[in-house]
Amino acid sequence: MMKTMVISSTSMSMLFTQMKHPMAMGMITMMQTMLTCTISGMMNQKFWFPYILFLVFLGGMLVLFMYMTSLASNEMMFLSMKLSAATTIMTTMMFMMSMEESSTWTYEHELSANEKTNLMLEKFYNQPTGSTTLMLALYLLLTLIVVAKITNISEGPLRKSK
């Protein structure tokens, strides 16, 4: 399951470099974000960090969607047959390569990788770095509140034209 998601993520990364339409790029970025969050949650056995990561990416994508719809609203999106064929061939090759190597991957490798990841994440919240992480989160919250209070809704890049 994990290898399938990694292969899908790699295929989408290759597909992203060939896209020209902003909406297609946004859709690939959203799918890439969902795959990354799922992989991260499966590796950590804890889904709170991927959940927060997904919400942050989703907020950024909503802002980008507003800009794209105001700038490129009438642009048509076309699917290239060359691009579809190349992506299909590359994905098939990656699946075949991963099947060949699957005999060497064991559960012990996966277990040790999970333990290492958990240890890396726990270091952020133990002393002495826990207080630094908390201060950083509080600083970001304060900055968010200040920026929201300073900005005027009617004077911005997305204001309504008169």
User: pLDDT tens-digit profile of 129-162?
Assistant: 777 878 888 999 999 898 888 876 666 665 555 5
Domain containing 75 equals 2-122
Please report which confidence band the pLDDT of residue 98 belongs to, taking 50, 70 and 90 as the band edges. Answer: low
User: pLDDT tens-digit profile of 102-121?
Assistant: 555 555 555 565 566 666 66
Mean per-residue pLDDT, 66-77: 72
Residues 43, 80 within the same domain: yes
The Cα 135–Cα 129 span in angstroms is 10
pLDDT number for residue 135: 87
Residues 96, 142 within the same domain: no
Amino acid at 122: E
157 preceded by cis ω (within 30°)?
no
Q: Is residue 79 part of a domain?
A: yes
Q: Is residue 160 part of a domain?
A: no
- C-alpha Rg value of the chain to the nearest Å: 21
Mean per-residue pLDDT, 50-65: 86
Residues 31, 63 within the same domain: yes
Residues 134, 91 within the same domain: no
Residues 103, 137 within the same domain: no
Residue-wise DSSP of 76-120: -----HHHHHHHHHHHHHHHHHHHHHTTT--HHHHHHHHHHHHHH
Scanning the structure block, which residue is given the tokens 């579809």? 84
- Residues of the chain with pLDDT > 90, as a percent, come to 4
pTM of the model: 0.54
The Cα 12–Cα 19 span in angstroms is 10
User: pLDDT tens-digit profile of 11-56?
Assistant: 777 777 777 777 788 888 888 888 888 888 887 777 888 888 889 8
Angle at which helix 2-16 crosses helix 22-44, to 10 degrees, equals 160
